[in-house]
Structure 1
Amino acid sequence: MTAPSTSAPVPTVAATPAPAAEHRVLARYLAAAVTARLADEGARVAVVLVALERTGRASLGGLLIAALMIPHVVAAPVAGAAADGVRHRKPLYAAAFATYALCLAGAAELIGRFTAAAAALLIVAGCVAPLLLGGLSSLLSELAPGTLPRAFVLDSTTYGVAGIAGPAVAAVVAGALGASWSLVVLGLCVLAGALAFLALPLPVRARGRRPSRTTASLGGLSVLVRRRRLGAVTVTSGLSQLGLGALPVAAASVAIHTDQPALTGLIMSATAGGGLAGALLCLRLRVLHRRPERVLLICTGAMAAPLLLTAALPGKWPLLLLFALAGLIGSPVIVALFAVRDREAPPAVRTQVFTLGAGIKVTAAAAGAAVAGLATAHGPAPLLAAIAACQLVGAGAGALLLPAGRRPGTVADG
């Protein structure tokens, strides 16, 4: 059921795509989304590799990653408002793709030589990144309205593919050509995504009724506060990512304590692989689209179980299986989150809601990684327990905020 909103939809100058054409449109969209998100994931690894190669300081790499990730939540409302306010969105998104690509290539030359300038470029990249994450997802209701649940599921798989392929591309290119080339190649991936995006039939908005002054001034943040379902899933996903952002650090701690250096990459690949498999299974879960907010809360809380068991079961293969299980259980969370945003976001601030939600998740993950980095001396068990606790706290907080006894989109929610 689609949630009614208090804001009138902004009309568009385009017809709804025919069902047969939607598959081609969705394929182009997925190509653009995968390449952009692959670069976003890979850049976090490539930046550290360049810093190590040029300066030998891993701490510098951490600071540069923070420069790339932290601006997401600050810039997300501005980027979303820009996308919601323009009639011609293709030039805006294409500029975001090009800016991100050029900033990665520029940072490749400046890290270790003019590091402050490199940090400034990465901050700019972090400011446009929300359009390549949540901003792209917000377009699916226009690009594939006839197959929207399937489109959200496939869109969620792009994060799993990017999580696996992005760091792998960065590592392989760095080993073959040098660390700085890994950032250049990732920038080229973003440009390839821009070409796929420009081939999308994105409608031009007609001149319609402007959004109310209150909605325009408060934007997506006020919607997150006023619409309790949207606020509940946003709080849950933010607290969940606060824990999951520490997962790479916990994986590295596990590898160190077991004297198996390769285990870090294996753990992250197993988690991402489980998430990818789970996303494909979501195509068969009808309840996911009927009650997405409840599925999100249940799956978020359930992720705690395999994460806690990792500290108790010895052996590499049981460990990898548990991390894959955590990824599998957590995969419906992304799809459910997209579904709730799609139902609850008013058309006038739709992109703002998607970009702000994605920005909160990215920034929470960055904060989790930073806190975990300070706690590595205590070993992997406390880190994994803290990650599991974040899932339980997130699910509990969302359950408290979620309105009870009403169907999505009722007047009482708004």
Structure 2
Amino acid sequence: MRSPHRTTPAPRRLLAAALAARTGDETAGPALLLLGYAGAEAGHGSAATASALLAAGTAAAALGGPVLGALLDRAPRPGRLLAACLGLCATGLVSVLLAFGRVAFPLTLLLALATGAFAPALAGGWTAQLATHARPGRLHRIQALDAMTYSAASLLGPALAGLLGRPAGPAPAVLAAAALILLAVPAARSLPARDGAPAGPLTVRALARDLVRGFAGLVRSMPLARATAGSTLSCLGQGMFVTCVPLLGARLLGGPGDGALLLGCTALAALGAGAVLARLRRPPRPDTVLWVAPLVLAGAFAMAVAATAAHRPGLLVAAAVLVGAAEGPQLTALFAVRHREAPEGLRAQVFTTGASVKITAFALGAALAGPLLTRSAGGALLAAGAVQLLAALAHAALSRAPVRRWRPAGTSCVRGPARG
């Protein structure tokens, strides 16, 4: 009898495809902004239309995640559905490029909305599949490497968009984003059929029932609810910090564009922390990391306040590095808890719905930081730090609740890096 590990794609291939798709996704956001600003210079757009394009994709991702997760959990061949979502996402990006400035902007905005609805396939859709294609003894390493693909993509994507968009306009950046996403399609299609997929036709009632079960899955398991609440609040604070970065760059580093260097430092630190975590034989318990990381982030934001008050660029860079050192392990720990606690029939929903909630929180944090920045950058950073403390408190409060796990029989082998 053939080993199931020989009939499934190698984890390295899945991780490489995930890196390509996520780099494409991280390239797409800045590329759409460049497209909007280029339209403003050509007389058929404005800064408002640029931000509207990006906001449309973000909002659609928040709404599309739960539905996509429910469909992936029902699909007998999830790889084919995942590949179709990747193809539609890439096609949507090219459609937005072709439509912008040639058709009415509301129609272009609808295309951006439709494209963003498939974006969760690049995040939770991939991560949900990894647990079933890794040996239990190597699951922790795969989770850490998966988290590193997010950090690497957040570093490479904006840089690629800037390099391609500066000499030739936004079109090459948009096309490069679409091409990178398409590179992941073959690996997605190679995913094997699922054993024991839900039977019965796909109806509106069945889909609604699956969505209710998916949201309930995040609540009925106390470890999942605790991880979701803490990481969502933490992501809200991270959105506030990212919004502060251009102003911090202008005040301490020479210009708003130099703020991107801070995000580069953050991404590099997250990569380094992920690499160290992947090599540990006895990694820290993910539940512990999830309440320690917000405390470290709060300290990093306080360092950024001190750097702004004292006008010390070196301290600001150190704060950005500390942010990445906390964010990398935090994401790895979140994946570990989801893999460990998610019911087998709801795994994709848990990942895509959780990703959608975090996207919404990040966007809300960015929106809240705007008015605060008009008054004080230090005040906005302190507010971001306060949100991180609230995330740690929420995790601690839910830790006192009775532990409930919703795990079907036969899944005890997939427990992530938790010991005991």
The correspondence for 2:272, drawn from 270, 273, 277, is 277
What displacement does 1:123 show? 1.1
1:16 is matched with 4
Rounded Cα–Cα distance in structure 1 between residues aligned with 2:18 and 2:211: 30
Rounded Cα–Cα distance in structure 2 between residues aligned with 1:117 and 1:192: 28
2:129 is matched with 139
2:100 is matched with 111
Rounded Cα–Cα distance in structure 2 between residues aligned with 1:152 and 1:377: 39
1:258-287 Cα distance to aligned partner (Å, 9 max, x none): 361142111110111111111111124456
| CA distance 1:107–1:293, change in 2 (3 Å) | same
1:95-154 Cα distance to aligned partner (Å, 9 max, x none): 101011011111112234432222112211221111221111010111113421111000
1:359 aligns with 2:344: no
The DSSP-based 3-state class of the residue aligned with 1:312 is: helix
The DSSP-based 3-state class of the residue aligned with 2:153 is: helix
Rounded Cα–Cα distance in structure 2 between residues aligned with 1:110 and 1:376: 34
The DSSP-based 3-state class of the residue aligned with 1:37 is: helix
Return the letter of the residue paired with 2:334. Answer: L
Rounded Cα–Cα distance in structure 2 between residues aligned with 1:188 and 1:161: 17
The correspondence for 1:390, drawn from 382, 387, 391, is 387
Rounded Cα–Cα distance in structure 1 between residues aligned with 2:211 and 2:82: 23
Return the letter of the residue paired with 2:233. Answer: L
1:134-283 alignment runs, 5 A limit: 134-146=124-136, 147-198=138-189, 200-206=190-196, 216=210, 218-258=212-252, 260-261=254-255, 262-283=257-278
1:350-382 Cα distance to aligned partner (Å, 9 max, x none): 110010001111111112122223333123212
Q: How many residues align?
A: 393
Rounded Cα–Cα distance in structure 2 between residues aligned with 1:95 and 1:271: 33
1:325 aligns with 2:329: no
Rounded Cα–Cα distance in structure 2 between residues aligned with 1:67 and 1:119: 7
Rounded Cα–Cα distance in structure 2 between residues aligned with 1:321 and 1:373: 24
1:338 aligns with 2:366: no
Determine if contact 1:228/1:403 at 8 Å carries over to the other structure.
no
1:37-186 alignment runs, 5 A limit: 37-56=22-41, 57-114=46-103, 115-146=105-136, 147-186=138-177
Deviates more, 1:111-120 or 1:233-242: 111-120
Q: TM-score, normalised by structure 1?
A: 0.88
The DSSP-based 3-state class of the residue aligned with 2:25 is: helix
The DSSP-based 3-state class of the residue aligned with 2:4 is: coil
| CA distance 1:376–1:144, change in 2 (3 Å) | same
Determine if contact 2:141/2:279 at 8 Å carries over to the other structure.
no
The DSSP-based 3-state class of the residue aligned with 2:87 is: helix
- Aligned-residue sequence identity (percent) comes to 30
1:374-389 alignment runs, 5 A limit: 374-389=371-386
1:28 aligns with 2:13: yes
Rounded Cα–Cα distance in structure 1 between residues aligned with 2:62 and 2:253: 37
1:198-254 Cα distance to aligned partner (Å, 9 max, x none): 3x44334346778xx897362210111211110111111111111112333201111
Rounded Cα–Cα distance in structure 1 between residues aligned with 2:290 and 2:282: 11
1:158-182 Cα distance to aligned partner (Å, 9 max, x none): 0100000000111111113211221
Rounded Cα–Cα distance in structure 2 between residues aligned with 1:207 and 1:49: 43
1:8 is matched with none
Return the letter of the residue paired with 1:354. Answer: F
Rounded Cα–Cα distance in structure 1 between residues aligned with 2:2 and 2:39: 51
Return the letter of the residue paired with 1:36. Answer: A
The DSSP-based 3-state class of the residue aligned with 2:10 is: helix
Return the letter of the residue paired with 1:195. Answer: P
Any stretches of 5+ residues in structure 2 without a counterpart?
201-205, 409-420
Determine if contact 2:222/2:403 at 8 Å carries over to the other structure.
no
The correspondence for 1:299, drawn from 276, 293, 297, is 293
Determine if contact 2:223/2:404 at 8 Å carries over to the other structure.
no
Rounded Cα–Cα distance in structure 2 between residues aligned with 1:66 and 1:336: 28
What displacement does 1:54 show? 0.9
Determine if contact 1:16/1:145 at 8 Å carries over to the other structure.
no
Any stretches of 5+ residues in structure 1 without a counterpart?
1-12
What displacement does 1:403 show? 4.4
Determine if contact 1:220/1:349 at 8 Å carries over to the other structure.
yes
Rounded Cα–Cα distance in structure 2 between residues aligned with 1:36 and 1:197: 11
RMSD: 2.6
